[in-house]
């Protein structure tokens, strides 16, 4: 009995420790302090894999980069978030900047400690707290994410085509003019020649794929000669349109007029989603049959717009002037 007696003075201290809440334990129901957040460390990179979600009550120490996906931040992100070709929703807090490229960005009563940057996308920030400034580079697009991507990809392709057409018309105006002159009379035959050429080109491309140098050269030659023919067809159509408007247009102006009409036909349907893509596919099919194939045929029939013979035809001497009639006094 005497051996247990020294433990009695420790009994009040033991009861006091048991009655006190443990460190880190959940406070009572009536307490004002929330439970500490769950902390995760490290950057998050998602590229066409999965969506990124930071739940409420979670704290991510690092940055988030997502391409082709959805990011939702309901908790706290200490770093920056970058979303490309996707969507970003913030109801929590972002310590750094929030960047959206070709994406839909919605800051719903959330907080962004840095800049909110929108590039070629759409953003909503009603009731949001932005630490620095909003940089909006949404060049004309209230299109959905995929439609916006297709719009700007098509715009970039048309821009390159515009530069190529201008170079062709400036460098080889005579060749373009000869192809345009031959287009009305030889259009039907050019279609069948161009169709046969496409069949033969597919065989040639298969054969030259065995070499590393042959395929790029073949593709470059095909691309240049095809657009040389298209420039000639555009010139023929542009001249007719100009005359219908009462104007005689220059070669470059006629080509660019038709190119502007064609560009508008390709860009406008991008705003109508799936239906627009169907319209664009039909337009491209029509362009292939009505312009692309005959243009290649005209290049072959006119030998890339060269003269029909190597030597110009010999000039014949003009006939001598008629002899003057004798005057009445000189008549016998």
Q: What is the pLDDT of residues 103-127, one digit of tens each?
A: 888 888 788 888 888 877 777 877 7
User: Crossing angle of helices 173-208/293-301, nearest 10°?
Assistant: 110
Residue 207: per-residue pLDDT: 72
Residue 236: per-residue pLDDT: 92
Name which residue leads in pLDDT, 228 or 204: 228
Q: What is the pLDDT of residues 41-52, one digit of tens each?
A: 888 888 877 788
Dig out the tokens for 109 from the structure: 């009563």
Within 8 A by CB and 6+ apart from 32, the residues are none
Confidence bin at 139 (pLDDT 50/70/90): low
- Average pLDDT over the chain, rounded to an integer: 76
Dig out the tokens for 141 from the structure: 């697009």
* Average pLDDT rounded to a whole number, residues 57-69: 88
Residue 269: per-residue pLDDT: 78
- Closest residue by Cα to residue 270 from 259, 279, 261: 279
Residue 2 DSSP symbol: T
Dig out the tokens for 256 from the structure: 């660019």
* Average pLDDT rounded to a whole number, residues 188-206: 85
In contact, 128 and 146? CB cutoff 8 Å: no
* Average pLDDT rounded to a whole number, residues 6-33: 42
Residue 4 DSSP symbol: T
Confidence bin at 38 (pLDDT 50/70/90): confident
pTM: 0.53
* Average pLDDT rounded to a whole number, residues 159-173: 87
Q: How many whole angstroms separate alpha carbon 24 and alpha carbon 168?
A: 75
Q: How many whole angstroms separate alpha carbon 71 and alpha carbon 79?
A: 14
Residue 273: per-residue pLDDT: 63
Pairing of β 93-94 and β 76-77: parallel
Dig out the tokens for 58 from the structure: 């979670």
- Closest residue by Cα to residue 101 from 153, 130, 136, 73: 136
């Amino acid at each position: 009995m005497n051996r247990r007696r020294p433990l009695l003075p420790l009994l009040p201290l033991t009861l006091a420790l048991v009655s006190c809440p443990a460190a880190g334990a959940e406070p009572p129901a009536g307490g004002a302090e929330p439970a500490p957040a769950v902390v995760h460390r490290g950057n998050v990179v998602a590229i066409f894999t999965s969506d990124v979600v930071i739940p409420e009550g979670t704290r991510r120490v690092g940055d988030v980069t997502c391409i082709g996906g959805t990011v939702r931040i309901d908790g706290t992100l200490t770093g920056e978030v970058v979303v490309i070709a996707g969507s970003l929703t913030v109801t929590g807090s972002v310590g750094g900047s929030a960047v959206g490229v070709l994406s839909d960005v919605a800051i719903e009563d959330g907080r962004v400690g840095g800049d909110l940057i929108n590039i070629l996308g759409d953003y909503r920030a009603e009731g949001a707290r932005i630490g620095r400034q909003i940089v909006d580079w949404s060049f004309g697009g209230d299109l959905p994410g995929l439609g916006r991507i297709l719009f700007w990809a098509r715009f970039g392709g048309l821009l390159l085509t515009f530069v190529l057409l201008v170079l062709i018309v400036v460098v080889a105006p005579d060749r373009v003019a000869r192809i345009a002159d031959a287009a009305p009379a030889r259009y039907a035959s050019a279609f069948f020649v161009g169709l046969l050429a496409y069949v033969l080109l597919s065989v040639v491309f298969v054969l030259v794929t065995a070499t590393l140098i042959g395929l790029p050269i073949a593709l470059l030659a095909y691309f240049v000669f095809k657009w040389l023919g298209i420039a000639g067809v555009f010139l023929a159509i542009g001249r007719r349109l100009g005359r219908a408007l009462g104007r005689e247009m220059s070669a470059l102006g006629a080509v660019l007029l038709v190119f502007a009409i064609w560009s508008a036909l390709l860009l406008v349907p991008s705003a109508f989603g799936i239906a627009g893509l169907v319209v664009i596919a039909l337009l491209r099919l029509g362009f292939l049959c009505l312009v692309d194939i005959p243009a290649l045929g005209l290049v072959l029939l006119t030998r890339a717009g060269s003269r029909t013979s190597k030597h110009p035809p010999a000039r014949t001497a003009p006939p001598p002037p008629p002899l003057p009639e004798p005057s009445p006094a000189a008549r016998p």
